[in-house]
Amino acid sequence: MPIQKYKGLGLKLTPQRLAILDYLEGNKEHPSAEGIYHAVLRKFPTMSFATVYATLTTLRQKGSIAEITIDPDKKRFDPNTEPHHHLICSSCKKVVDVFEDYQVRLPESVTNGFDITGNHIEFYGFCPVCKDQSDIRKPKGGKH
């Protein structure tokens, strides 16, 4: 884990915070605060959820992680702050990064004078696991 990257943000690097940063480094699962807490709790059983949440809030404010709101009941965090889109399973909520650039042009009648500087597109569907599970439940050979 590149500690210098986080020292440059002015973060106090406690052992608990380092464990959180280590868990996030290269993580492509878009974990929730609860998921991060439970993963790091194994190493630091006395750590509080507040420590995790405060660390995530600080990282988000400093631009080191992005908060994604794909699930209204649970904030998720993306340590990859490069511009990208997401593919989201409508069943299990798995999130996959999409690094294609899609040029979306909005007509002036829609932009209301805004200067568009970027976009984030969320694609929804079913991951292979959920799709296979739903295929099992479909009747064979007939109309659905």
> Which CATH number goes with the domain that contains 129?
3.30.1490.190
User: What pLDDT is recorded for position 66?
Assistant: 93
Tell me, yes or no, whether 8 and 70 share the same domain.
yes
User: What pLDDT is recorded for position 116?
Assistant: 87
User: What pLDDT is recorded for position 32?
Assistant: 94
Tell me, yes or no, whether 77 and 47 share the same domain.
yes
User: What pLDDT is recorded for position 3?
Assistant: 67
User: What pLDDT is recorded for position 142?
Assistant: 47
Residue closest to 1 by CA, chosen among 20, 19, 17, 22: 22
Tell me, yes or no, whether 13 and 74 share the same domain.
yes
* Residues of the domain holding 144: 84-144
Say which residue the tokens 């492509």 belong to: 28
Tell me, yes or no, whether 25 and 57 share the same domain.
yes
User: What pLDDT is recorded for position 144?
Assistant: 42
Q: Which residues pair with 122 in a beta bridge?
A: 86
What's the farthest any 2 CA atoms get from each other in the chain? 62
User: What pLDDT is recorded for position 119?
Assistant: 86
**Residue 20: C-alpha distances to residues 1, 5, 24, 86, 136 (Å):** 11, 14, 6, 23, 39
Among 64, 81, 98, identify where a domain stops. Answer: 81
User: What pLDDT is recorded for position 118?
Assistant: 84
Q: What are phi and psi of 117, to 5 degrees?
A: -110, -10
Point out the residues of the chain with pLDDT beneath 50: 137, 142-144
Structurally, the chain folds into a number of domains equal to 2
